[in-house]
Amino acid sequence: MTEQEKKLRGRPKLFNNDQALEKALEVFWKRGYEGASMAELTAELGINKPSLYAAFGNKEELFRQALDKYVSGPAAFIGAVVKEPTARMVADRFLFDTVGFLANDQHPKGCMIVQGALSCGQGADIIKEQLIRYRQHYETLLSERFKQAQQAGDLSPELDPAALAKYLATLHQGMSVQAINGATREELTNMVNVALLNWPSK
């Protein structure tokens, strides 16, 4: 082995920011913001505290970046459902995609945003407020879509778009809790089928 090869072999592996965020996301998704200790985060990321601070600033910033990765990745389906051509199809896809998301064994159970907002204490008010804003953003997307459906004659003008959006969001949140408590895909699907019986016709 040449001297150059020895030097290359002896060098530490370059820190991969994206892989680190994936691992941080997994921890926060399982534990919530406050439940994720620095000891667990540094162990999962394979770095010490000074290195974590150097890469991400602090725990709060690490969580923010992990949350952005969650929203643009695993939870991106929520923003995509509004592209469906009818209000009923929006509701169907939103709820059935939620079932598929919550029943997926490839990631932690439940919705990171829902669980994070529920488990944050007073010491994490800023994080809790951010999670609430994310939820409100999704409700607004749905509400605006239902307003468009009314204008197109696809939804009764007597209905309240904001109330319909909150209805779907509440179902999503409830199913998230059920999934964490062990509800199966079949059980979640049955819940959606019952809920959709109450979806208004034109």
Distance CA 139, CA 68 (A): 18
Q: What is the pLDDT of residue 8?
A: 39
pLDDT of 128 reads 83
Q: What are 97-145's pLDDT values in tens digits?
A: 999 999 999 999 999 988 776 666 665 788 888 888 888 999 999 999 9
The domains of the chain are located at 17-69, 75-198
pLDDT at 63: 93
Res. 11 pLDDT band, cuts 50 70 90:
very low
Q: Is residue 23 within 8 Å of residue 44, measured between CB atoms? A: yes
* pLDDT for residue 123: 59
Q: Which of 18-27, 44-53, 86-95, 108-117 has the lowest mean pLDDT?
A: 108-117
Q: Exposure pattern of 3-14 as b/e (b: 16+ CB <10 Å)?
A: eeeeeeeeeeee
Identity of the residue numbered 43? A
Question: What is the full DSSP assignment across 23-62?
Answer: HHHHHHHHHHHHHS-HHHHHHHHT--HHHHHHHHSSHHHH
Would you call 144 helix, strand, or coil by DSSP?
helix
CB proximity list for 143: less than 8 A, separation 6 or greater? 161, 162, 164, 165
Dihedral sign for Cα atoms in the order 189, 177, 68, 70 = negative
- Which CATH class, in words, describes the domain spanning 17-69? mainly alpha
| 95 confidence band (pLDDT: 50, 70, 90) | very high
CATH homologous superfamily of domain 75-198? Tetracycline Repressor, domain 2 (1.10.357.10)
CB 94 within 8 A of CB 78: yes
User: What one-letter code names the amino acid at 160?
Assistant: D
Q: What global pTM score does this model have?
A: 0.84
Answer with the residue of higher pLDDT: 126 or 14: 126
